[in-house]
Amino acid sequence: MIIVMKPGASEDQVQHVVDLVRDFGLKEHVIHGTDRTVVACIGDKRHVDKSAIENASMVERVVPVLAPYKMASREVRGERTQIRVGPRQFPLGGRQVGIIAGPCSIESREQILLLADVAQKAGCIGLRGGAFKPRTSPYAFQGLREEGLKLLAEARARTGLAVFTEVMSIEQIPLVSELCDVLQIGARNMHNYALLEAVGKADKPVLLKRGLSATLEEFLLAAEYIINAGNEQVILCERGIRTFEDYVRNTLPLAVVPELNDKTHLPVVVDPSHGTGHAHLVPAMCRAAVAAGADGIILECHNDPEHASSDGAQSITPATLYELMPVLKRIAQAIDRDV
Ligand code: PEP
Ligand code: MN
């Protein structure tokens, strides 16, 4: 249920509505829009006297939210949410499309600094790199862990890029929050509700990847866990889903982008690297993602893909990234955006 206040409602009038909502045992989220304030109510509505709220002063209307995800829903917040990331506070979800590039895993100081310089020179807004890696095999490279995070922080200080890295468990959150800008929840952890609630208590933006076999509704309900725990800075990331198809590692369903833009106010980022698994498919999927209305792209880039510790096959080279960026800019401009 959302309570839409009339334009010009005072803080006291909003507070009065909040008090009523609490009296009915509901939890409130107050959203200040450009011209009006909305009070979203979460909880069991069976004992709510809707007319008592409707009669409060400066209440325009009370409307039910039909989607099972509430705070993530476009019904609750009509305007798109912009999430500012990194030292330069780039607004993901604004007019400009943000490109984030970097290796799957941080492998060494030389490697991450080199790729940070590449990303910066190419015009990216962010640098990605895994320090804690969720590998399918326990014998595969697991990441440089804390040392990797420190190298990422060094790359950030050197370039001013926003740094994105995965947090795999609750214990890692304080350290990752201290050293990085955006906490990535990997596809394998989209259903880890304890972890979602824990990043919901962190004060950093979260990049939430869609689970390998999650429906859109499950994806948005995972975002709802984070928002409901107190963190409204959720960036959704489509990274491909598992299908019967085997010429790609995952199938990248780009229709998700306009569908999410319709259903939610949260920014949507596409990962064409995990979404295809093959470097030669990545540039075309980046072009298509921008054309489809994505707010950002997160891709894997490596200076020596053949010797990468993880995901070399899907990592584009710096030369490909340099060629791609001006093309993405032209596509963005064709739909009144920019890169
Ligand atoms: C990654 O970003 O390197 C990664 C492991 O992604 P995903 O969780 O989407 O598989
Ligand atoms: Mn990877």
Alpha carbon nearest to ligand 1 atom 1, residue: 104
Domain harbouring 57, CATH code:
3.30.70.1140
Residues 90 and 221 in one domain: yes
pLDDT tens readout for residues 168-183: 999 999 999 999 999 9
Is the confidence at residue 89, as pLDDT, over 90? yes
Window from 11-25, 31-45, 169-183, 261-275 with minimum mean pLDDT: 31-45
Q: Work out whether strand 234-238 and strand 268-270 pair parallel, antiparallel, or are unpaired.
A: parallel
* pLDDT recorded at residue 45: 82
Phi-psi region of 189 (alpha: psi -120 to 50; beta: other; left: phi over 0): alpha
**Alpha-carbon torsion (113, 118, 120, 124), positive or negative:** negative
* pLDDT recorded at residue 299: 98
CA-104 nearest atom, ligand 1: 3
Residues 101 and 57 in one domain: no
Residues 35 and 170 in one domain: no
pLDDT-above-90 percentage for the chain: 90
Gap from CA of 122 to ligand 1 centroid (Å):
22
pLDDT tens readout for residues 30-55: 998 888 899 999 888 888 888 889 99
102 contacts 129 by C-beta, under 8 angstroms: yes
Residues 55 and 97 in one domain: no
Alpha carbon nearest to ligand 1 atom 10, residue: 187
What is the rounded average pLDDT of the residues 309-313? 96
Is the confidence at residue 18, as pLDDT, over 90? yes
Residues 235 and 136 in one domain: yes
* pLDDT recorded at residue 206: 98
Domain that holds residue 284: 83-334
Long-range CB contacts (within 8 A, 24+) of 29-38: 29/71, 29/76, 29/227, 31/76, 31/77, 33/77, 33/78, 33/79, 34/79, 35/7, 36/4, 36/5, 36/6, 36/7, 36/9, 36/60, 37/5, 37/9, 38/2, 38/3, 38/4, 38/5, 38/76, 38/77
pLDDT tens readout for residues 53-79: 999 999 999 998 888 899 999 988 889
CB under 6 Å to ligand 1: residues? 104, 130, 134, 186-188, 209, 239, 274
pLDDT tens readout for residues 191-241: 999 999 999 999 999 999 999 999 999 999 999 999 999 999 999 999 999
Domain harbouring 123, CATH code:
3.20.20.70
pLDDT tens readout for residues 107-129: 999 999 999 999 999 999 999 99
How many structural domains does the chain have? 2
* pLDDT recorded at residue 34: 82
DSSP bridge partners of 140: none
CA–CA distance, 311 with 145 (Å, rounded to integer): 17
CA–CA distance, 121 with 134 (Å, rounded to integer): 29
Residues 11 and 104 in one domain: no
Among 35, 63, 91, identify where a domain stops.
Answer: 63
